């Protein structure tokens, strides 16, 4: 049973436009959410996180939105750049060591 779902395996976006990556979860006890970016042959790199007490967190071009009632979070990248092309994983935690990861979305930013 997948507690964290990324329903879009891939996404293509034109350079300079907005990229929106989505993640849904089923466990209402999750209270910490993260996004990781992964390039081929490298490990996942922490990108941005959000606590359940917030509904938005920004870091430069990256913004994460959390909608607790819908059990949905999204990552917005504005403007998208070719270097953003990677696989993006969302993860959720109940505030412990245990992270539950989604299956990833491959983002391709077209120049």
- Which residues make up the interface to other proteins (CB under 8 A)? 4, 32, 34, 36, 41-46, 49, 51, 89, 91, 93, 95-99, 101-104
If the CB atoms of residues 96 and 111 are measured against other proteins, the closer one turns out to be 96
Shortest distance in whole angstroms from residue 111 CB to other proteins: 26
Compute CA distances 75 → 58, 59, 65, 96, whole Å. 10, 11, 7, 22
Q: What is the dihedral of CA 101, 40, 58, 109, to 10 degrees?
A: -120
Nearest distance in Å: CB 87, other proteins: 10
Q: Measured from the CB of residue 63, what is the shortest distance to other proteins in angstroms? A: 17
CA 74 from centroid of its chain's CA atoms: 6
**Closer residue to other proteins (CB): 17 or 46:** 46
Sign of the torsion angle spanned by Cα atoms 72, 105, 34, 79: negative
Nearer to other proteins, 85 or 89 (CB): 89
């Amino acid at each position: 049973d997948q507690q964290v779902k990324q329903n879009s395996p891939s996404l293509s976006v034109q350079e300079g436009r907005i990229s929106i990556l989505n993640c849904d979860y089923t466990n209402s006890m999750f209270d910490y959410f993260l996004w990781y970016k992964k390039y081929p042959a490298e490990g996942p790199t922490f990108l941005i996180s959000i606590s359940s007490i917030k509904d938005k967190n920004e870091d430069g071009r990256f913004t994460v939105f959390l909608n607790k009632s819908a059990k949905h979070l999204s990552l917005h990248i504005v403007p998208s750049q070719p270097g953003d092309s990677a696989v993006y994983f969302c993860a959720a935690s109940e505030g412990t060591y245990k992270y539950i990861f989604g299956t990833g979305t491959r983002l391709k930013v077209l120049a």
